[in-house]
């Protein structure tokens, strides 16, 4: 099969063990991001299969209509960036391993790195010493402080383990079903949503972005937080109501925010009011960006390509289009 891999910005996949799974296929790797649909369609004219790198490229009806040879899209996880109905209309099979085993430890590790960075003022202290000014302030220890985790899932539970190793108290908030699972597991669930946001030194978001969870964290939630509290988001920017985070930082409702995700990505405007805010610590959506996590995720993705080529596709999202 002619397989095109999009958005491998640092040409990482060729050097990982998982790439051997594509032996025997005609593979093209694109190392830049191409937002222009016409140029992208021209690049992919001969593709039988397109491999997506998370949500870096949107697959629209317009793009699919320009790709008459395309038969398969292989990716991993959720797919809000893919027009599934258009895939079905165009006879393109979408395969995505949504229920992959195990937590994303890379994302959990970055979450905790951001917690430490915010509480110990690491970016500011680094900038100060490099500028010849030595210390710039006094940070706060984690031991004895309260971490609130919104969303009772695999990544959140790993973050909770890290927090307990640092001597933090962990409490939870989630959907009604998520709270019930947490309580059944012996975890501490906040008495109310207001108590959750109002009593935590750090709140970390660990929800999937779905139509139901979009905007879950409101301006009212953020205004209930301590003016010294830290909000951490390594999940999706859309979990927070549009504009609410910047509003909370401007109003002094938060001591700091540490985020890995933005409404617009890639966000490359240094003058963006959120990105440039003095109370924001930011990373460029690197929660999953480690060699180890790439190898794990793309082993699944390439296995889907091989299963399709062998006439036994797996993890089909729109199976009605597949004709053996």
Q: Which of 145, 157, 285, 315 is catalytic?
A: 285
CB-CB contact of 21 with 306 (8 Å):
yes
**Strands laid side by side in the 230-233 sheet:** 169-173, 146-150, 202-205, 230-233, 256-259, 280-282
| Cα–Cα distance, 262 to 281 (Å, whole number) | 12
Q: What is the DSSP string of 210-270?
A: -TTTTT-B-HHHHHTS-TT-EEEE-S-GGGBPTTHHHHHHHHTS-SEEEES--SSSS---T
| Cα–Cα distance, 73 to 78 (Å, whole number) | 13
| Cα–Cα distance, 161 to 155 (Å, whole number) | 10
Does 236 participate in catalysis according to the annotation?
Answer: yes
CB-CB contact of 206 with 151 (8 Å):
yes
Tally DSSP H helices, then E strands, for the chain.
Answer: 11, 11
CB-CB contact of 275 with 269 (8 Å):
yes
Give the CA angle between residues 208, 283, 203 to the nearest 5°.
Answer: 50
Which residue's structure tokens are 């729109």? 318
Q: Which of 145, 157, 236, 315 is catalytic?
A: 236
Q: What is the DSSP string of 113-141?
A: HHHHHHHTTHHHHHHHHHTT---------
Q: What is the DSSP letter of 20?
A: G
Does 293 participate in catalysis according to the annotation?
Answer: no
Q: Which of 265, 291, 293, 315 is catalytic?
A: 265
Does 265 participate in catalysis according to the annotation?
Answer: yes
* Residues with catalytic roles: 236, 265, 285
């Amino acid at each position: 099969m002619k397989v095109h891999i999009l958005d491998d910005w640092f040409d990482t996949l060729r050097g990982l063990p998982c790439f051997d799974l594509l032996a025997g296929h005609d593979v093209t790797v694109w190392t830049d991001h191409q937002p222009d649909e016409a140029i992208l369609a021209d690049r992919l004219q001969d593709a039988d299969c397109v491999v997506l790198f998370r949500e870096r490229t949107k697959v629209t009806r317009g793009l699919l209509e320009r790709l008459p040879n395309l038969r398969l899209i292989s990716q991993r996880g959720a797919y809000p960036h893919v027009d599934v109905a258009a895939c079905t209309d165009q006879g393109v099979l979408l395969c995505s391993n949504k229920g992959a085993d195990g937590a994303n430890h890379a994302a959990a590790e970055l979450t905790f790195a951001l917690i430490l960075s915010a509480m110990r003022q690491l970016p500011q202290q680094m900038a100060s010493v490099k500028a010849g000014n030595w210390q710039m302030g006094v940070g706060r220890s984690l031991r004895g402080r309260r971490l609130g985790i919104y969303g009772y899932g695999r990544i959140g539970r790993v973050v909770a383990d890290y927090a307990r190793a640092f001597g933090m108290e962990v409490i939870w908030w989630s959907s009604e079903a998520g709270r019930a699972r947490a309580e059944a597991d012996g975890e501490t669930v906040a008495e109310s949503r207001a108590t959750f946001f109002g009593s935590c030194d750090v709140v970390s978001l660990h929800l999937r972005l779905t139509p139901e969870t979009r905007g879950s964290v409101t301006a009212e939630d953020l205004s209930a937080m301590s003016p010294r509290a830290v909000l951490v988001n390594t999940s999706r920017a859309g979990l927070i109501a549009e504009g609410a985070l910047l509003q909370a930082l401007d109003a002094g409702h938060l001591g700091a925010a540490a985020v890995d995700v933005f409404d617009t990505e890639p966000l490359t405007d240094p003058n963006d009011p959120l990105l440039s805010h003095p109370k924001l610590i930011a990373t460029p959506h690197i929660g999953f960006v480690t060699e180890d996590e790439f190898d794990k995720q793309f082993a699944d993705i390439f296995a889907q390509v091989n299963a399709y080529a062998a006439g036994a596709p797996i993890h089909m999202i729109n199976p009605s289009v597949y004709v053996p």
